[in-house]
Amino acid sequence: MALVSWSYNVGTSAACGSTLAKKANAGDWQGACNQLRRWDKAGGKPVKGLTNRRAAETKLCLNALKGQ
């Protein structure tokens, strides 16, 4: 769910060409989850709300892996 939310928010064009997508497609799900934190910028500058959101999404993503 975290990756769906992220791709919706950043747009499919940015999402599909990202390192996060490459890691997910290679089966490196932990690496993909950890890439979420990099997506906390708007206009090239970190935004506190996005930083907090990406941290929560990363946690959600990594917790989902534990349940596999």
| pLDDT one-digit tens code per residue, 32-60 | 999 999 999 999 999 999 999 999 999 99
How many domains is the chain built from?
A: 1
**What CATH number is attached to the domain comprising 54?**
1.10.530.40
pLDDT computed for residue 1 by the predictor:
75
Q: Is 70 exceeded by the pLDDT of residue 2?
A: yes
Q: Which residues contact 32 (CB under 8 A, 6 or more apart)?
A: 3, 20, 21, 23, 24, 61
pLDDT computed for residue 68 by the predictor:
66
- Distance between CA atoms of residues 33 and 24, nearest Å: 8
What is the domain extent for residue 17? 2-66
